[in-house]
Structures are given as structure tokens and as C-alpha cells.
């Protein structure tokens, strides 16, 4: 179970929150957070700018919410992917594969997350922004804990030939999530190709006795 309460908010059928988030992901992901005006989001959604403040107190609040939702999704993807794995090597391959299950908008959301991780380091001036920041930090810790646990299992049963589970987990995460900084739908590599390359790289990073073969 997640260490923070990330249950989705109950919204009325007329709520624009989901549309605002989707629109912000598209704008922030394609044009950049700094280059996107808050008023542009309102125009895209078809509401007045003041109406945005019913849902988010600032553009940064919206950004942090997008980041928190992606981190929460990452936790759930990892758990679903690794729960059915027979051994640590299979679990690692499944975890890597789950990281690249993404629609074009998912890819944008993950790019946004990686590009703004530094935002989580400093306390925010407003209450709602700070609440989202702390939720994000807790989820980051949970993700790191989950990957560390996976590596430790592989060390314990002799599948992974590394000594430091935490360091190895951090290196794995850096390898896996770094893709979103350069990946573009329709680019030189498909997500399927990236999955194969990264699964092999991850196995070699932990010096796994079982390196997945590429198709």
C-alpha cells in the first residue's frame, strides 16, 4: 500500500479538473512549463483564467499535481508488473518494461516529471503547493524503496552480483527514467526497442546472472 493517500478526488460531472490537467500536460510537455502562460491553459479549456483558480491556486500547483499523479502511477505500475514475476531477474525485466508502457501523453507527463524534479528540493511558499511537493517526495522515496527491495532480493538469492542494493537501485532508476528527457514519439527508437535495450542494460548494471535476450 502507498505510504501516502493518493486516492483520486471525487469531482462533479461538470468538473474541468481532468481536462485542465490533460491540457497542461500537452502544453508543458510540448512547449515547456516556463513558456506556457496560465491564460493559455484557460483558453484551451474554454474557461476564464479566474476559473482556473477554483482547481489550482497557481501554475506551479498544477505542475506539482501532474508530477504527483505520475509518481503515483509509477508506484502502481511497478507493483503490478513485479507481483507476478517468478524471480528477481524476471521482476527487474518486468519493472523496466512497465516503465515504458506509455501513450504519447504519458510520455509528455514523464518528461515533465524528469525536467522538474529539482522543484521538490525546496519548500513551497503556499500551502497547496507544499502539500503536493511533500506528497511527491514521499512517492519518490517509496519508488526508491521498492526498487531497492527488488535489488536486495536478487542479491540475497545470488541472482544479482552487486554489493549495495540502494546504490544499484538509484543507478537503475537514473538509467530507466532518463529516457524521458530525450524520447519523442515517432523518433529514431520506438518504446518497444527502448524496452529491449534498457532491460538488457539494467540486467548488466546489477550484473545479473540472467541477461534478457533481445528479440
- The pLDDT score that the predictor gives to residue 15 is 79
What are the DSSP calls for 46-99, one per residue? TS-HHHHTTT-SSHHHHHHHHHHHHHHHHHHHHHHHHTT-SSHHHHHHHHHHHH
pLDDT score for 212? 64
Q: Which residues contact 78 (CB under 8 A, 6 or more apart)?
A: 95, 98, 143, 146, 147
Closest CA to 160 of 199, 206, 211: 206
* Region of 208 on the Ramachandran plot (φ > 0 left; ψ -120 to 50 alpha; else beta): beta
**H helices then E strands: how many in the chain?**
9, 0
Of the candidates 13, 17, 107, 14, which has an alpha carbon nearest to the alpha carbon of residue 65? 17
**The C-alpha cell that represents 201 in the structure block:** 542494460
All domains of the chain in start order, with CATH: 59-205 (1.10.357.10)
Report how far Cα 165 is from the mean position of its chain's Cα atoms.
Answer: 21
105 near 23, Cβ under 8 Å?
no
Higher-pLDDT residue of 48 and 136 is 136
Q: Which three cell numbers stand for residue 195?
A: 524496452
The string of DSSP letters for 117-163 reads GGGGGS--SSHHHHHHHHHHHHHHHHHHHHHHHHHHHHHHTTSB--S
**pLDDT band at 14, cuts 50/70/90?**
low
- Is the Cβ–Cβ distance between 58 and 125 less than 8 Å? no
pTM listed for this prediction: 0.89
Question: 68-98 pLDDT, tens per residue?
Answer: 999 999 999 999 999 989 899 999 999 999 9
Does the pLDDT of residue 169 top 60, yes or no?
A: yes
Distance separating alpha carbons of residues 187 and 21, to the nearest angstrom: 25
Mean pLDDT of the chain: 91
d(CA 68, CA 6): 9
Residue 128 has a pLDDT of 96
Amino acid at each position: 500500500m502507498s505510504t501516502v493517500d493518493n486516492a483520486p478526488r471525487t469531482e462533479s460531472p461538470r468538473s474541468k479538473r481532468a481536462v485542465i490537467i490533460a491540457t497542461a500536460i500537452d502544453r508543458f510537455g510540448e512547449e515547456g512549463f516556463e513558456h506556457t502562460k496560465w491564460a493559455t491553459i484557460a483558453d484551451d479549456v474554454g474557461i476564464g483564467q479566474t476559473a482556473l483558480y477554483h482547481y489550482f491556486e497557481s501554475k506551479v500547483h498544477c505542475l506539482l499535481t501532474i508530477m504527483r499523479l505520475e509518481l503515483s502511477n509509477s508506484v502502481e505500475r511497478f507493483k503490478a508488473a513485479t507481483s507476478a514475476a517468478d524471480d528477481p531477474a524476471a521482476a527487474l525485466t518486468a519493472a523496466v518494461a512497465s516503465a515504458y508502457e506509455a501513450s504519447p501523453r504519458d510520455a509528455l507527463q514523464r518528461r515533465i516529471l524528469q525536467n522538474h524534479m529539482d522543484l521538490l528540493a525546496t519548500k513551497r511558499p503556499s500551502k497547496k503547493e507544499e502539500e503536493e511537493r511533500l506528497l511527491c517526495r514521499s512517492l519518490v522515496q517509496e519508488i526508491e524503496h521498492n526498487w531497492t527491495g527488488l535489488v536486495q532480493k536478487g542479491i540475497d538469492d545470488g541472482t544479482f552480483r552487486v554489493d549495495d542494493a540502494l546504490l544499484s537501485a538509484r543507478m537503475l532508476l537514473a538509467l530507466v527514467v532518463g529516457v524521458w528527457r530525450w524520447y519523442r514519439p515517432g523518433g529514431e527508437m520506438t518504446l518497444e526497442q527502448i524496452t529491449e535495450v534498457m532491460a538488457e542494460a539494467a540486467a548488466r548494471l546489477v550484473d545479473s546472472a540472467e541477461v534478457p535476450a533481445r528479440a
